[in-house]
Amino acid sequence: LSHGSGGRAMAQLINDIFHAAFDNDWLRSNNDQASLDALPGRLVMTTDGYVVSPLFFPGGDIGSLSVHGTINDIAMGGATPKYLSASFIIEEGFPFADLERIAQSMGEASRAAGVPIVTGDTKVVERGKADGVFISTAGVGVLPEEISLSSDKARPGDAVLVSGSMGDHGVAIMSRRENLQFDVEILSDSAPLHGLVADMIAAAGGSLRVMRDPTRGGLAAALNEIALQSDVGFAIEEALIPVKPQVAAACEFLGLDPLYVANEGKLVAICEAQAAETLLAAMRAHPLGKNASMIGHVVEDENNFVEMKTGFGGGRIVDWLSGEQLPRIC
Amino acid sequence: MGRVVAVPSQASQRLRVRVRGAVQGVGFRPFVYGLATRMDLSGFVRNDASGVLLEAQGGDVQRFLERLSRDAPPLARIDAIEVEELPLGEDFGFLILESVAGKSQTRITPDAAVCRSCLDELFDPASRFYLYPFVTCTHCGPRYALSRRLPYDRAQTSMAPFAMCPECARDYRDPRNRRFHAEPIACPTCGPRLSHAPKEIAAALISGLIVAVKGVGGFHLMCDARNAGAVEELRRRKQRDAKPFAVMVANPASVGKAARAAPQELDLLQSVTRPIVLMESAGALPRAVAPGLGRIGVMLPYTPLHHLIFHEAAGAPKDQAWRDSPQELILVATSANLGGDPLVKDNDEAQAQLASIADLIVTHDREIVTRVDDSVLSLVGGAPAFLRRARGFAPEPIELASDGPCVIAAGAHLKATLTVTRGREAFVSQHIGDLSGAATTRFYRETAAKLLDLLDVAPEYVACDLHPDYYSTRWAEGQGAPLIRVQHHCAHLAGVLAEHRIEGPALGLALDGHGFGDAGQSWGGELMRFEGATWRRLGGLSPLPAPGGDHAAREPWRMGVGALAKLGRLDAAERLFAGEPRAIEMKGLIEKGYAPPVTSSMGRLFDAAAALLGFSSGQRYEAQAAMEMEALAAVPCAMEGGFEMTEVELDFGPLLAALADRKFTPQEGSELFHGTIVEGCAAFILRAAEAQRLDIVALGGGCLMNRILAEGLTRRLQAAGLRVLLARRLPPNDGGISFGQAVVARSFVQSRTAEELALCV
Ligand SMILES: [Fe+3]
Ligand SMILES: [Mg+2]
Ligand SMILES: [Zn+2]
Ligand SMILES: [Zn+2]
């Protein structure tokens, strides 16, 4: 890939790659905007930037991730994702083959999810001004009238559920980045959650209060954010939090806590306590929620602590970390 | 000892004397009254906002002054006596006057052991306090643990619900009585009651049961230390599989059954603070008491109930001879807490949390207001040094070199304490503990509020560690006062310097576990230069890979592999860590290019050595491997060429390489390690001392709890002409961090302009 010279031909080449991969009527019409039929109900909109190293990792790549991530951000509001847009910042010298692979993966992810990428843009920047490729996606979705999810709605007594095992994505990324090989390969959990969310809403829509995808900072960051925004605390139990044995082992080995490790295909749901069992059953009936678990409940706490009961009986604070997991034992 | 200020040169006719310090609520006024009346002086004494004020005339006032400081009551701490001459006045004898501004405004004294006079009454069948477990007087008993707020007055303590009977009220009002204004005065008629008779408690203990006993600042878990089965059962139920237990013996004559105590250690044991003293084990108790360690923590009884238990165990004799003769019973007495949670102090807490551990829970109806653990000390270089500072010492202040703004310092994370400065004094809280647990953070916040309340101050500045993820840092960030972040090892060393009131310039060497470096590095073996408010890192230990961050502090094999990686000898991993498959796996990862984080920590260097020498691969309590190594090292010896150094880096690579050869027994290896570490650190310091033209060095950090290191380094540096400063009033570990932070914050504030300070957030 080169930058500047041969601009027009190059832009065409790149466009072709994406059009072929995403292929739909909106893109084929080749306008600077996509015209969409007005949707009934309330609209939700979100946008997110994706920078990940490495670009390709076990279980996914930056392309599929940029589709799933934005779909999930819409789904966490309880909405149905309808359309996506995508914008690319590509570093000069980036291999065409890799770009093609990313585009293919994005196209597949969008088709599998049933959410088309209807408009996009590409820019090539000088070498060193970007790390391979950066992707920005935006999405629009529709929100049913009766649904109103928000991070400030958790109330003492509510149940806390997670849709599956924690930490898979972060460990998959890390193992590729640090060139770590474990006995069992750990795959990213990158997946679109709107199907699971639709089933959850059908089963217990009105009782749902908060949904969150625990991405960067993992479950710990997600719960701490909700605790602060809802001005509550959490009482969770370590033994109830699903973590795959190989992820637990890898984390232990590297000195990480899986609760702080990112996920890309999991959600945390908070619902009224009496709906918890119904919701859990609905989640477990969906392939992306088959390992769902109720991990604790919301409590009153002026300190907004996420307190975890561990095997030793003590209540450990799962606090909000400023960044990476630093040693504290002196 | 207090300082006598401006004593008139000739015997005066009437003196006005102001006594400053901890002189209220400790029987100081009756002491003055007694002294004055015996010496035929007239005048008066009273409490006021700054301490005790008295006037005296008519006799040998100079001798009166001498005795005033020499014979002061046991719990009094005199900071200063100021004397002024007055013209003769008219008196009606010598009077105790009502306080000017209510009662004790100044301080609450720490908790003290029951005194000898009270014990005489406790075991005197003729006394109204015979066998009464809450006997006390102005010279003894719990204070800090019972007080809700100042002034120190019965109504403000947990004695408030107990109305004094006429006899107690009479004693309380009588200035000639030892119980004059003894706020917790109580007797069998009017005072608190115990849930179980001492006879029953002693019988349970002797039969091998585990008993929770409510004490001064919390509950103890007790069992018969001679009974291996009972001790092992306590370990099992407390899920504490290796950490050493302290023991309680009946009296000084019985210490020899548990330990070989030096005379100084016996003195320390008997001090009014009654701490746990670590001393050489006599090896007579079951291994389960302190597995793998040559030293044992011993304490003497400090509540009347403790004495009553030993009295019953001795067959409840009517005479008092048993009190000074050796007794058979030795008790394990360990803090009653679960996991990392704070000490249990309330009756309902005890029922809820200790029911699964204790066969019998002994409570009483006097509330413990403030949780205070036992203090732990050990002799280092012939003088006491803290391992944990709490009961008997908190909240006694440490005097600073100068006045300054009010600072509250948040401390570290694992052995948290808080410090509040007021004027020239720094008040360091009791040991609070590991702030990873929600219950401990509650105790931490309560302690902060209580300290500020007792001292009646509002902090102008808040100080905390540089580490962004300590709970204490988060707490400090939420205080709403300008925040000063202090590097961990700077705080360790500045604290030691301040204890000795040295403002520099001086050198400091921190030998520690882990602290957040000035740019986020993992530090723990740092040489620094201090001058007033500024510090500079001169150099430190050569960093070692620490695979697994905090896990490296729990599993020494990690540091072992890290050391091998650094030495380029990963091939030795299979041979050295045959029993630890993860070590082999880690070796493989590093060979494939995985670069673990690195640390310059001395604590982790100990772990690396322990791993290379084949010590336990997992630590069941903090610094277990290092403590076991210390226990084995009888005669430390330095290895020729065991270290290399430059201006900025001290590298024990050659020593580690020698240990990796495993040509030594664990004992030889431990001795070589300790000896070489001392030699290397001394050489590193001496080189800097010469280059910087400095002759004072402070030693700080958790590794200084290792006596071989502390004493060896001190001897070696003193021999070379340096003045060596060790932590004496506070522990060298993170328990001293809050004090160091407060000191650094104050000197920082005092050296900056208002505009610069406006930038602190
Ligand atoms: Fe430290
Ligand atoms: Mg997002
Ligand atoms: Zn007494
Ligand atoms: Zn009475």
Q: Is A319 on the interface with B (CB under 8 A)?
A: yes
Which active-site residues of B does the annotation give?
A: 29, 47
B189-219 as b/e: b if 16+ CB within 10 A: eebbebebebeebbebbbeebbbbbbbbbbb
pLDDT of residue B572: 95
Tell me if B46 sits within 8 A of B52, measured CB to CB: yes
Closest CA to B674 of B624, B605, B726: B605
pLDDT of residue B503: 87
pLDDT of residue B58 exceeding 90, the answer is: no
| Mean pLDDT to the nearest integer, B421-448 | 95
Q: Which of B364, B379, B394 is the last residue of a domain?
A: B379
pLDDT of residue A185: 86
User: Is B643 in the same domain as B757?
Assistant: no
Residue B136 DSSP code: -
Report CB contact under 8 Å: B553, A321. no
Closest CA to B417 of B394, B439, B438: B394
Lowest mean pLDDT among A70-79, B45-54, B454-463, B722-731: B45-54
Arithmetic mean of pLDDT over chain B: 93
Whether the predicted interface score ipTM is above 0.95: no
d(CA B482, CA B549): 31
Q: Which of B29, B64, B96 is the last residue of a domain?
A: B96
pLDDT of residue B620: 78
pLDDT of residue B635: 93
Ligand 2 center to residue B603 CA distance, Å? 41
For B756, residues 6+ apart whose C-beta sits below 8 A from its C-beta are none
Ligand 4 center to residue B177 CA distance, Å? 14
Ligand 3 center to residue B199 CA distance, Å? 23
Which two structure tokens, joined as six digits, stand for B433?
A: 């503990």
Closest CA to B331 of B194, B237, B210: B210
User: Is B635 in the same domain as B717?
Assistant: yes
| Mean pLDDT to the nearest integer, B629-640 | 93
User: Is B715 in the same domain as B669?
Assistant: yes
Low-confidence ranges of chain A (pLDDT < 70): 1-7, 312-314
In chain B, % of residues over pLDDT 90: 81
**pLDDT classification of B8: cutoffs 50, 70, 90:** very low
Residues with C-beta atoms within 5 A of ion ligand 1: A 330; B 512, 734
Does residue B83 sit within a domain? yes
Does residue B171 sit within a domain? no
Q: Which of B68, B96, B124 is the last residue of a domain?
A: B96
d(CA B311, CA B113): 17
Select the residue of B339, B599, B702 nearest A312 (Cβ to Cβ): B339
Lowest mean pLDDT among B18-32, B455-469, B559-573: B18-32
Ligand 2 center to residue A123 CA distance, Å? 22
Burial of A198 (0-12, 13-18, 19+ CB in 10 A): middle
pLDDT digits (tens, 9 = 90+) for B480-531: 999 999 999 999 999 999 999 998 799 999 999 999 999 999 999 999 999 9
Complete edge-to-edge strand list for the sheet that includes strand B419-422: B397-399, B425-428, B419-422, B407-409, B461-465, B483-486
CATH code for position B673: 3.30.420.40
User: Is B706 in the same domain as B734?
Assistant: no
Lowest mean pLDDT among A265-274, A313-322, B4-13, B591-600: B4-13
Does residue B236 sit within a domain? yes
pLDDT of residue B9 exceeding 60, the answer is: no
Does residue B176 sit within a domain? no
User: Is B750 in the same domain as B652?
Assistant: no
Tell me if B525 sits within 8 A of B542, measured CB to CB: no
pLDDT of residue B305: 98
User: Is B254 in the same domain as B318?
Assistant: yes
pLDDT of residue B106: 67
User: Is B464 in the same domain as B434?
Assistant: yes
pLDDT of residue B193 exceeding 60, the answer is: yes
d(CA B344, CA B323): 30
Does residue B122 sit within a domain? no
Give the range of the structural domain holding residue B62, as residue numbers without chain letter: 3-96
Q: Is B470 on the interface with A (CB under 8 A)?
A: yes
pLDDT of residue B341 exceeding 70, the answer is: yes
CATH code for position B323: 3.90.870.10
pLDDT of residue B48: 82
Nearest residue of A to residue B238, measured between CA atoms:
A312
Burial of B163 (0-12, 13-18, 19+ CB in 10 A): exposed
User: Is B630 in the same domain as B682?
Assistant: yes
User: Is B465 in the same domain as B413?
Assistant: yes
CATH code for position B9: 3.30.70.100
Q: Is B673 on the interface with A (CB under 8 A)?
A: no
Report CB contact under 8 Å: B339, A330. no
Q: Is A4 on the interface with B (CB under 8 A)?
A: no
| Chain A residues in contact with B338 (beta carbon < 8 A) | 312-314
Nearest residue of A to residue B471, measured between CA atoms:
A319
Q: Is B733 on the interface with A (CB under 8 A)?
A: yes
Select the residue of B441, B469, B592 nearest A328 (Cβ to Cβ): B469
Instruction: For CA atoms B85, B90, B96, B101, give the dihedral sign.
Output: negative
User: Is B312 in the same domain as B432?
Assistant: no
Does residue B138 sit within a domain? no
Report CB contact under 8 Å: B589, A312. no
User: Is B649 in the same domain as B737?
Assistant: no
User: Is B327 in the same domain as B446?
Assistant: no
Residue B257 DSSP code: G
Report CB contact under 8 Å: A255, B488. no
Does residue B628 sit within a domain? yes
Ligand 3 center to residue A323 CA distance, Å? 54
Report CB contact under 8 Å: A321, B339. no
pLDDT of residue A310: 87
**In total, how many domains does chain B have?**
4
| Mean pLDDT to the nearest integer, B725-744 | 98
Closest CA to A101 of A43, A181, A185, A17: A17
**pLDDT classification of B104: cutoffs 50, 70, 90:** very low
Nearest residue of A to residue B512, measured between CA atoms:
A330
pLDDT of residue B227 exceeding 70, the answer is: yes
| Mean pLDDT to the nearest integer, B123-150 | 95
Does residue B610 sit within a domain? yes
Neighbours of B387 (CB within 10 A): 22
Closest CA to B18 of B55, B44, B43: B55
Helix axes of B556-567 and B581-591: crossing angle, nearest 10 degrees: 30
What chain A holds in terms of domains, given with CATH numbers, is: 7-143 (3.30.1330.10), 159-317 (3.90.650.10)
pLDDT of residue B745: 96
- The minimum CA-CA distance between A14 and chain B, rounded to whole Å, is 36
Report CB contact under 8 Å: B474, A319. yes
